[in-house]
Amino acid sequence: MPARVDSTSDLRSFQRLMKDAVVRPLAPGYRMQKRWRDGRPMADVAAGFVRPNDRLTAFERLEIYNRMYWFRIIDSFHEDSPGLRAVLGDRKFDRLAVAYLTKHPSRSFTLRNLCSHLEEFIRAEPRWTAPHTALAREVARFEWAQTMGFDEAARPVAKPADFARTDPGQLRLSLQPYITLLELAYPVDRFVIAVKKRDTLRAEASNATTSGRTAARKRRVARPRRERCWVAVHRVDNVLYYKRLEPAAYRILAALRDGRTLARAVGAGGRGVTPAQVQDWFALWAKLGWLCRRK
């Protein structure tokens, strides 16, 4: 960058340099890397745009911001993934966090999107989660669905008139954007609930006696065994919920989500589905506000 900032172009170059230095992955021991991208000593690069003071060198001052940035996004990663952390254990989870955030750094104005590629990363690089990769992937999917369920957009719900004035063979409905349908090989919904309950008890115990804190710290939630289940992650009145679904109900909802007409979606439920079941399911889904008109 230039020695002085005399133009908008110079300012832009300085801002990019500062950003690149702050978000650059840390070295082992959570320290700033000693070398810049081109091999120059990082101390020399830092001295080019950071002034030292009577206590810290330019490198040390810049390192504070580099470490603060990474500690903040790692902390956010922890907050968004309590179930995954319980599956892997603290040490393995921390290694996964650094590897994932190095490959998929935050590129959004909000930390809400931090884990959006996590399930994809686990699938592509299973060494970070082995031997529990299958479970880790499902927990990552489920926890990202929670993020979506909490603050994804809502659209106007479908009204009875929408059903009455359109032939079921032509009517196409959709699901609210905040709903995620999951076909799971593990009961991760109950597992994550148990983890959160454990963490709540641990937080409450922090104000109790030493023995209470020790008991809370030692308690672990057992990893779930395989069990197929179908779950909708959604919200009602800004509160997050997980709802178990019957397989046929899941298939109908998935067909609506994928753009099938109402008639074909109901048919996707299978031959064993009765009209009474369909009526009950749609009545519930309408009450919950799950259904909306497709754009």
Beta bridge partners of 183: 230
Give the model's pLDDT for residue 169: 87
Asked if residue 220 lies in contact with residue 89, where contact means CB atoms within 8 angstroms, the answer is: no
- What pLDDT was estimated at residue 207? 54
Identify the structural domains of the chain with CATH numbers, from first to last: 8-150 (no CATH), 160-187+224-293 (3.90.930)
In this predicted structure, what is the pLDDT of residue 115? 96
Give the per-residue pLDDT at 67: 96
Q: What is the pTM of this model?
A: 0.86
| Predicted local distance difference test score (pLDDT) of residue 14 | 87
Closest Cα to residue 137, out of 106, 170, 100, 111? 100
Give me the DSSP letters along 75-106: HHHHHH-HHHHHHH-HHHHHHHHHHHHHHS--
- Classify 157 in phi/psi space as left (phi over 0), alpha (psi -120 to 50) or beta: beta
- The predicted pLDDT at position 164 comes to 77
pLDDT beneath 70, residues of the chain: 1-4, 202-218
Cβ(126)–Cβ(132) under 8 Å?
Answer: no
